[in-house]
């Protein structure tokens, strides 16, 4: 898991590093996925939908990071979903685990080299929008990249044109056709009553947000807040992948100083467990229509 370092160009990985990982995976599975699904906290059950599975633990994959968070199994699952070949990440990587931005996003360029064309990202998020309820599913229409404001962008450093252009557009980060398809599918599957549409804001964690931070994020236009997703989306769009984002609202953020509510990870996992089947069904039918 060594990264190619440069004193003048920051720490990153080389094209050959990504190629090595990709070639190893191609040699260890017969599947050639066109869709990749990143499973957020407690959402690893999405991989259970796959048929003809090949399971590859992260620890066995050359240069691949390790997932350390409860609710993240730490393995790639290859298989078929609705006759589409897919790969699921059961466990993603985060800043708060001690990984740098290049390691957090390492799998995305590997997916690109595997031939993936569409990325579905899921996460557990706190609801900032007062109209959101715990258990709602939010289609991500846009994001606020707060770590990026501070220079933590996975595209900093040397640009390799084999992955994408130097200055990629992000105004279309979340594919509008896929979002419309997801909305239509949710209504057909009876999920329209708890489907929302909004802006996701990423913080680095691992602390949950203060009351003042939540109020500030709300004023910035964020509808939900979490600790993941945005770096992966940035790299996916740099590579030209289409992206669909789904946030499961697992708790309502605290914005009142008189409130006795406190966010905690066990609450996140429990809410996720209760809504997992609905989210699995939604993702399955979306993939069938891609």
Torsion of CA 74, 80, 84, 87, to 10 degrees: 10
Q: Which of 97, 117, 213, 267 is catalytic?
A: 97
Alpha-carbon gap, residue 168 to 156, rounded angstroms:
12
- Catalytic site includes residue 158: no
Q: Which of 13, 18, 89, 94 is catalytic?
A: 94
- Catalytic site includes residue 72: yes
- Catalytic site includes residue 228: yes
- Catalytic site includes residue 96: yes
Q: Which of 89, 227, 232, 247 is catalytic?
A: 227
Q: Which of 123, 129, 228, 247 is catalytic?
A: 228
Residue 209's alpha-carbon distances to 11, 50, 98, 234, in angstroms, are 29, 35, 19, 23
Alpha-carbon gap, residue 201 to 74, rounded angstroms:
24
Q: Which of 36, 73, 124, 202 is catalytic?
A: 124
- Catalytic site includes residue 265: yes
- Our measurement of the distance from residue 13's CA atom to the centroid of its chain's CA atoms, rounded to an integer in Å, reads 20
Residue 219's alpha-carbon distances to 38, 86, 148, 212, in angstroms, are 29, 38, 18, 11
- Catalytic site includes residue 97: yes
- Catalytic site includes residue 129: no
- Catalytic site includes residue 16: no
- CA nearest neighbour of 284 among 101, 46, 110, 96: 46
- Our measurement of the distance from residue 143's CA atom to the centroid of its chain's CA atoms, rounded to an integer in Å, reads 12
Q: Which of 84, 204, 265, 284 is catalytic?
A: 265
Q: Which of 72, 186, 209, 232 is catalytic?
A: 72
Contact 3, 11 (CB under 8 A): yes
- Catalytic site includes residue 247: no
Q: Which of 12, 41, 129, 145 is catalytic?
A: 41
Q: Which of 12, 67, 247, 251 is catalytic?
A: 251
Beta-bridge partners for 84 = 81
- Catalytic site includes residue 41: yes
Q: Which of 4, 20, 80, 96 is catalytic?
A: 96
Strand 84-90 and strand 75-81: the pairing is antiparallel
Catalogue the active-site residues. 41, 72, 94, 96-97, 124, 227-228, 251, 265
């Amino acid at each position: 898991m060594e990264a190619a370092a440069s004193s003048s160009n920051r720490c990153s990985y080389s094209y050959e590093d990504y190629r090595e990982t990709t070639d190893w995976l191609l040699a260890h599975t017969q599947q050639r996925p066109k869709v990749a699904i990143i499973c957020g906290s407690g959402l690893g059950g999405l991989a259970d939908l796959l048929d003809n599975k090949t399971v590859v633990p992260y620890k066995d994959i050359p240069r691949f990071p390790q997932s350390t968070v409860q609710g993240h199994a730490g393995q790639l699952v290859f298989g078929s979903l609705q006759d589409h070949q897919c790969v699921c990440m059961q466990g993603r990587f985060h800043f708060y685990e001690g990984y740098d931005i290049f390691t957090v996003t390492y799998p995305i360029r590997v997916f690109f080299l595997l031939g993936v064309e569409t990325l579905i990202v899921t996460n557990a998020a706190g609801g900032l929008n007062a109209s959101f309820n715990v258990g709602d599913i939010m289609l991500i229409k846009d994001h606020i990249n707060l770590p990026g404001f501070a220079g933590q962008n996975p595209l900093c450093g040397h640009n390799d044109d084999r992955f994408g252009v130097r200055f990629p557009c992000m105004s279309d980060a979340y594919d509008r056709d896929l979002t419309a398809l997801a909305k239509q599918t949710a209504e057909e599957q009876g999920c329209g009553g708890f489907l929302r549409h909004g802006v996701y804001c990423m913080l680095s964690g691992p602390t949950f947000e203060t009351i003042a931070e939540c109020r500030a994020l709300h004023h910035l236009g964020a509808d939900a807040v979490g600790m993941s997703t945005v770096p992966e989306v940035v790299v996916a769009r740099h590579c030209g992948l289409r992206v669909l984002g789904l946030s499961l609202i697992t708790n309502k953020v605290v914005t009142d100083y008189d409130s006795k509510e406190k966010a905690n990870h066990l609450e996140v996992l429990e809410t996720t467990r209760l809504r997992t089947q609905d989210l699995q069904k939604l993702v399955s039918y979306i993939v069938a229509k891609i």
